[in-house]
Amino acid sequence: MIPQARVVIVGGGMMGCGLFYHLAEEGWTDCVLIEKAELTSGSTWHAAGLCPSFVGNYAMAQIHHYGNTLYPQLEEMTGQYVSWHG
Ligand SMILES: Cc1cc2nc3c(=O)[nH]c(=O)nc-3n(C[C@H](O)[C@H](O)[C@H](O)COP(=O)(O)OP(=O)(O)OC[C@H]3O[C@@H](n4cnc5c(N)ncnc54)[C@H](O)[C@@H]3O)c2cc1C
């Protein structure tokens, strides 16, 4: 393992992987993600896969809106099947 990095993300759940993905998209290459078990084996493994859209507060509404905009494009952007059903 490399001894140091600009960003070290602890936890490879939805939050950690999402952050890692977006840093890479911004061109940040000096990043490491550390997962103590298997990637996405925490809460993320249990998630039903629903992409909700509710307004608990403004920040949450923004996050939901972003996710619901991003997911339909992910397959085309990455070549990875994401089983999106709008
Ligand atoms: C039954 C269920 C159904 C759900 N359904 C939905 C849904 O349909 N839609 C939705 O939006 N949300 C849903 N959720 C909520 C959603 O799953 C969580 O909010 C989300 O997965 C949290 O992601 P996370 O990355 O914060 O945490 P996690 O997925 O738990 O990831 C944290 C990771 O960090 C790792 N870790 C912890 N400590 C360390 C350490 N010291 N060093 C290295 N690694 C470490 C863990 O092993 C884990 O992999 C559901 C949750 C549950 C339980």
Confidence check: pLDDT of 1 > 80: no
> Could you tell me the sign of the dihedral formed by the alpha carbons of 62, 33, 26, 81, in that order?
negative
Q: Determine the average pLDDT of the residues in 66-78.
A: 93
Tokens of 82: 């994401």
Q: Is 16 in the pocket of ligand 1 (CB under 6 A)?
A: yes
Which residue matches tokens 């952007």?
Answer: 77
Q: Which of 15, 14, 5, 9 is nearest to 35 (CA)?
A: 9
> What are the pLDDT digits (tens) for 35-70?
999 999 999 999 999 998 888 899 999 989 999 999
> What are the pLDDT digits (tens) for 12-43?
999 999 999 999 999 999 999 999 999 999 99
- Say what the pLDDT of residue 36 is: 98
- Say what the pLDDT of residue 76 is: 95
Looking at ligand 1, which residue's alpha carbon is closest to its atom 3?
47
Taking the centre of ligand 1 as the mean of its atom positions, its distance from the CA of residue 75, in whole angstroms, is 22
- Say what the pLDDT of residue 53 is: 87
Looking at ligand 1, which residue's alpha carbon is closest to its atom 40?
36
Check: CB of residue 18 under 8 Å from CB of residue 39: no
